[in-house]
Amino acid sequence: MRWNLDQLEAFVAVHEQGSFSAAARRLGRVQSAVSQSVAMLEADLALLLFERSGGRTPKLTDAGRTLLAEARTVLLQCDRLQGRADGLQRGEEAVLRLAQDEAMPYQPVIASLEGLEQAYPNVEVHLTSGAQGDVARKLLERRADLGLLFHHGDMPAALERRRLGTIEMVTVCSVNHPLAPMGTLDRRTLGAHRQLLMTPGEVRYAGDEQLSPSVWRTDSFYTMAELLMRGLGWAWLPKHVAQYPMYLGHLIELQTDWTPPSLVVELVHRRDEMPGPAARYLGTALAKHLSVIG
């Protein structure tokens, strides 16, 4: 291979600008240098890229049309490589691995990632979701750089957390459950029916208070919602989970004399690895978008 990037750049610029003189102005070169670059590229490829039949506007040959997309792809990849190198020089992360609780509200996360893509287009993002306890484990095992989770007690000392916002909790059951047609319910009435709770252990969410002697447990709010939908008990759920489209018409929010405090959303990282600029940007964006629904 004898052709070079300058030649590809001249080839693409001549086509996009419509003339050798306009391409020269865009590239900051003299016209003769642009013409020579295109001629050398044609010689190196052993193909004519522009017709030489006269006229003021360069016209691509069949070979030129075929190779134009390839040339653009090569130049774009070069821009990406240089952008990645520039970002690394500025201390940007090459890869940002975000682990989140599966019950985290969808819209704030996606909106924040869209902003991150605009601000740090060269950072590669790995997004994973998991049930209760998975996020902290991934951070401790260095399989994630940031964790987005709901506040719970006994956070490992190796992890640092920052409060981002809150998520409202509601009391929920199936529309066909005996509690559904009742008015405002007190704790004694709730306690007379099976209660669904999160799996006990080192991770305890707000509202993990047992009112009923009969309980079923799970490590996932979405699994809990599926059980609720089938009339297998009542529970406290994050409001956005209870309002998930597939549950509409199947779950009902109960009026009670007490509801648990809101879930606190936290951004977590390892103490021995401070977040880079992309991670800090994402944290700020998440706090902003969560404040809208908190």
The whole-number pLDDT of residue 184 equals: 92
Query: Which sequence spans correspond to the domains of the chain?
Result: 5-89, 95-165+264-293, 169-260
Helix (H, G, I), strand (E, B) or coil at 242: helix
As a CATH number, domain 169-260 is: 3.40.190.290
Size of the chain, expressed as the number of residues it contains = 294
Best CA proximity match to 269, nearest among 145, 124, 126, 156: 145
Q: Domain 95-165+264-293 - what CATH class?
A: alpha beta
- Of 167, 259, 154, the residue nearest 209 (C-alpha): 259
Number of helices followed by number of strands (H, E) in the chain: 10, 10
Per-residue pLDDT of 112-126, as tens digits, reads: 999 999 999 888 999
Distance CA 217, CA 196 (A): 6
Domain 5-89 and domain 169-260 have a common topology: no
pLDDT digits (tens, 9 = 90+) for 206-236: 667 889 999 999 988 999 999 999 999 999 9
- The count of other CB atoms within 10 Å of the CB of residue 83 is 14
Amino acid residing at 107: Q
Q: Would you put residue 102 in left (φ > 0), alpha (ψ -120 to 50) or beta? A: alpha
What's the CA gap between 190 and 194, in Å, rounded? 8
pLDDT for res 291: 81
Q: What is the CA radius of gyration of the chain?
A: 29
E strand segments, the chain: 95-101, 124-130, 146-150, 159-167, 169-174, 195-198, 215-218, 234-238, 251-253, 263-270
Residues with Cβ within 8 Å of 22's Cβ and at least 6 positions away in sequence, in order, are none
* pLDDT tens for the chain, residues 1 to 294: 688 888 888 888 888 888 888 888 988 899 888 889 888 988 888 889 988 776 667 888 989 888 998 988 888 887 767 666 655 665 668 889 999 998 899 899 999 999 999 999 888 999 999 876 788 889 999 999 999 988 876 777 788 888 998 989 999 999 999 999 998 999 999 999 999 998 765 455 666 788 999 999 998 899 999 999 999 999 999 999 999 999 999 999 999 988 888 889 999 988 888 888 899 999 999 999 988 665
- What fold characterizes domain 5-89? Arc Repressor Mutant, subunit A (1.10.10)
